[in-house]
Chain A
Amino acid sequence: MSGLHPYTQLALAALLPALAWLVPGAPAPAITLGTAVSLVLGTPRAPRRLAAVAAAAAPFWVFLLLLHPPARAALLGLRLTTLLCTAAWLGAVLASGRLVEALVARGWSARVAYLFGGTLAAVPLVRAHARRVSEAQRCRGLASRGGLVARLRAVHALVLPVVLSVLHQLDERVLALETRGLGAAVHRTPLDPPGDSGAQALVRWGAVAACVAALAARVA
């Protein structure tokens, strides 16, 4: 799935939550969630990703069960979990560099393409930075491993330095990107544009058609 054209990946990632929300009744979100889970299972470190999805979805399920009757809560919970699970799959398969290459190859300016790709690229960069901050804090005696309480305490001591330093780095990153020609007036040369095919284009248009049909059925 990581070899698919980024547009196809985005289309699939949009299709599943859209169908989960648009098609009435519980079976649709159950099917979309099953599909999303099976997609995640095909990515590296799948159990970790699914655990993260479960951890993110759990509070929503609790509140939904408190606020709604069980059937309604289950319906909304399945839809939300589909959304989270699809996002986890997309995060695993969509490479920011490939997305930028795809956008540039389709005529988008490098600056606009980087706005989309840079958001995704920020995730591993911030993660790497957080790891360095964590190591630095551990050197200063912070216990960031062990039980849940110790980890929660560690998060408190890590969040502020990570957020502040990331904000501080933004200025320097902008300078670095400018000096490397991101603001150049010419069109960027795609280095290795992702391959596309008629079949993938068909899948994308099929996804759009499915969403439109579901919306029409919902409105009618």
Chain B
Amino acid sequence: MTLLGLERVSFWYPASDRPALRDVSLRVGRGEIVALVGNVGAGCSTLLSVAAGLAPRVTGGRLEGTVTFPGPGTTGEGRALLLPVPWTQLSGMGASVRDEVAFGPANLGWPLARIRAAAERAMAGAAVAHLADRDPLTLSGGELQRVMLAGVLAMEPALLLLDEPTAELDGDGAAALWALVRDEAGRGAAVIVATTDLDAVPVVAHRVVWLADGRVRADATPTTVFGDDAIWRDGPGGPTVAEVWRTAGLAPPWPVSVTMAARAR
């Protein structure tokens, strides 16, 4: 069942003649994980802002085409976006991590008991329960990013949008985050994640959307998208495993994960 639909969407930022998105059509269903990949400036973050209902409502600019999402119109009610820089996402209202995580659910007007339960669950899921009483300003970048993730998860969004979520995380933190993303999809959330962690994409995502210059260049399974020579030539490349196969001169389809490589051996 489609949760988010973009039909021939183009978007221009204010005071810009050049569209950041061009004629983008995309459908994302419940329980689906879609990875957005592309070079810098390809439009991944813009697509997330549009999907979150923030562009053009908050960012300004002009949108053509149709965005459909069955939830309430305001973001934070059904869809939530995690941005790449944790420091800019702090509300500043929470003297503790627990209150910072509860900031979003409180804004949704939930009963206090539901807010507290959702915050505790989200903190446990994001592995920050042990930081619950700490002042958010005293946390490291990686810890804070996990707190911000908990803040987003606590709102129990049907559509979870993640923009470079592993940017501040170490290897273990990134692995935990990807596991959490799978859990969220497992409970029925639709997830769109813009990432440069291409090794994780085939393991996590059901589909890969390759954006180039604001257009969708490919929208298919990881094996198909990373099996196309074009993404290596004109795009961000692909997982290391596939790169090794490709560099060795082996014919496609290349394995896109270690598991697939072990099977292909």
| Interfacial residues, chain A to chain B (CB-CB below 8 A) | 95-97, 100, 110, 114, 117-118, 121-122, 124-125, 128-129, 169, 171-192
Contact = CB atoms under 8 A, between A and B. Distances in A.
Query: For the side of the interface on B, what is the size category?
Result: 35 or more
Given A171-B59, A189-B110, 17 more contacts: A96-B92, A96-B93, A97-B94, A118-B92, A173-B88, A178-B54, A178-B58, A178-B75, A178-B76, A180-B91, A180-B103, A180-B152, A181-B105, A183-B75, A189-B111, A190-B106, A191-B102
A207 B3 CA distance: 55
Max count, chain B CB within 10 A of own CB: residue among A114, A117, A121, A189: A189
A114 B108 contact: no
B255 interface: no
A174 to B, nearest CB: 6
Contacts of B115: 189, 191
A128 B135 CA distance: 13
Contact of A182 (B76, B95, B99, B102): B76
B77 A176 contact: no
Interface string B50-72: 00101000110000000000001
Interface of B: 49, 52, 54, 58-59, 72, 74-77, 79-81, 83, 85, 87-95, 99, 102-112, 115, 137, 151-152, 155
Contact of B137 (A118, A125, A185): A125
A175 B91 contact: no
Contact of A186 (B75, B80, B108, B151): B108
A130 to B, nearest CB: 12
Contact of A173 (B77, B79, B89): B89
The 9 closest A-B pairs by CB, nearest first: A181-B76, A121-B92, A181-B107, A186-B109, A180-B104, A176-B89, A172-B88, A179-B81, A97-B93
Given A128-B137, A180-B152, A189 B112 contact: yes
B58 A174 contact: yes
Contacts of A177: 91
Nearest to A186: B109
Contacts of A189: 105-106, 109-112, 115
Nearest to B112: A189
A95 B95 contact: yes
A179 B76 contact: yes
Most chain B CB inside 10 Å of its own CB: which residue of A174, A176, A180, A182: A180
